[in-house]
Every structure is written in structure tokens, then in C-alpha cells.
Structure 1
């Protein structure tokens, strides 16, 4: 075969489109919770997100930087938040941490509740006083039977309230079925539920089922 004429050579050119990057805006997102939320509940919701987010897409060091930037924003230290974003080479197409990208093109999204409190946030003090003035029957959370399906194939029901945490439910299951809490992993709608998660945060309804993966302890001879 003959050698191709050099004039016929067409080099392959890869075009990399640079994503738009805007400075971090000082405006915080405004949002309303589905129910009046206390600061403790807000913290629990944020902890749940930061505990689970790095387990999915993206790089852990970027998630750590985003968390640090979110904390700086909450403390109204906009300059520090911008410095953290710049130091981690995070791109903000809209000037918000609610949608951002790392230098490899991975996409990260922070929910509004990680950046600002809801407009219907109630103080712990007011919430406590309101419960003291309520009628006795209104003080107590209403119990219901939660259906739990174990990976062993067994279905059972636990008496719970919407204020119960997954940690409390794990202990209840340990007492009822003799399954160590360390060997329980709770899932709802395909999402891992952390120990700090409360049932009211999952928006579960009475007829729904929570899956519990039971891992077998390692026995050494």
C-alpha cells in the first residue's frame, strides 16, 4: 500500500467546552418544610444527608469541601465559603452550591436545607412550651404498627411513633428478634437510613414497608 499524502492528513481535534463559573452568591435559598421544623430536626436532616451523600456519586474530598462551604455560609462567612470552593476547583454554573461540578465534570447537588433553615423553623423553646400547654393526650406521639421485612424472609410489626429514630427501632428489633443492632441495615425506598434518621423524616406512611438487611456475624474458630 502507498503512503498517504501528508496533505490528506486531518488531525483529530478534541474540543473541551469550559463550563460557566460564577462567584458564589450571598443570597440563601428560601424554602418551606412540609411541617414546622425545630432546629434539632433540621440538624438531624442535615446529618443524614452528609452521612449518606459521599456513598453515592462524586469524590469524598469534594463532598467534604462542600460541607465546609455550607457551614461557612450558615455562619455568614461568604468569603471563606468562596475560598473553599475555589481551593477545591469547584465550578458553580449558577453561583449556588445547589448545583456544582468538580474539575472532572462530576455533578454535585446540595438540598436547600443544607444551606439555610426553613421559613417555618420553630425554636426548641417555643416547641417545648407548646407541648407543655397541650392536653395530655396530645403530648404523647400516636403509636402505630410499622411493617418490617427482614432479609431472612420474615415479616413482623413494631409499635412505633413518627418521632422514633432508626437507632431506637434497631434496639427494639434487637429485643424482639435477638438481632444485634450492628448487624442491621435499614432501607426505605432504596435509601439507607442512618441511626439519626427519624421516621417523620422519611415521610413513611402506615401501610409502607421498611426493609432490614440482616448480616451474619463472622464466627472465628
Structure 2
């Protein structure tokens, strides 16, 4: 990381301010640095190339070493950190018992001592990145209204709050996660902007619909408020 503590820096306290500015002392476990991973690439330059590399890594990494549930948690934490939701990323890491000796997701360890290495392209877009989605990105906006098919039948989903309380909601298959958050805000008083939903340990996109997630009957969605 290049942030070693010399003689003149030993008096610095490793408080929140240090973490936010990328200063960390290497040890057994450190809080997640609240700074994005900066890098550039001569190969990855567009959305399609980046997503392809990420999909390939997350699909194949569990087959070689480590536990799949830890990989799932790391993927969710990486996605949250890329969105600068560091509180959520830290909560996911802590909940999965993952240690960050350097305060970064690039090198992690689980409770059994297994080592996990995540490439930079899974943590942030390169500085020379060019979006190739154009109007498609706008079409996927979570705030865009989705017409409801009048022939749709409502389904019941269960959500578990961080307090341990379970909440049941009746929704349409075309209901988006952004709408689910607003329903939680209405019924439970939870700020929709600060709410994150996890499905099988993975962070759920606001634009995803109930139908797209293919949630098994009786499955519980985790709700984390940052």
C-alpha cells in the first residue's frame, strides 16, 4: 500500500480520520480503507470488457480455493465499496468473519486462515474507463417507473431487518428493489436511501425485479441500513 509508519509517524492514532485518508498500520485486522482503488488498464476500457472480466473472476475463484460463502460476501462488499457505501462493505466483511490485514479487499483472510486475493478490476473501474452503455444505462435507472401487468399475481416476500425483525411484503413479480425499499420506508420508517438489500449474501441492485431475482419460496432477504 506504500503507507508504512516511519519514526515520525508512530505517534499518529489509527482513528477514523486516518482510515478515511488511507493511512493504516499493517496488522492482524484493519478497518476497510474509505478510499477507492485507483488503477489504469491498457486492456479493460469499456463496460462490456470490465463486466466480462469480473464475471469470469467471481465465477471461477471459488473453484480453486477458499469457501464460496466467503467469496459471495467479498463480492457483495466489493460492490458496496465501489458505490462508496463503506459502512455496508464493513458490515458485510465483519459479518462474514473476514480479516483485512492491510485495510483493503485486495488481500483478505477468513476465520480459518484461508487467503483471498481480489484483483483491482473487481474493486473499481480503471481511471481510463469509457462507458459504452449509452442510453441503456438510463433505461436501467431504479427510479424509472415499471408498468405493472394487470394480470400479474402478487407474491409474498420476507425481509429480515438488522434488528432481527422479519417483515412480510406483498409485491408484484415486476416490482423493483427500489420500490421494495420505499415500501419498507413507508411501513417501518427506514430511510430508503440508506437501505441495502442482500440476497444469498450478494448486494441486490435497485433496478432488479422480484422476477429477475428468482427468490425461492420462504427465502429471506437481508436488510442492512448504513
TM range (shorter): 0.3 to 0.5
Could you tell me the TM-score, scaled by structure 2's length? Answer: 0.46
Could you tell me the TM-score, scaled by structure 1's length? Answer: 0.47
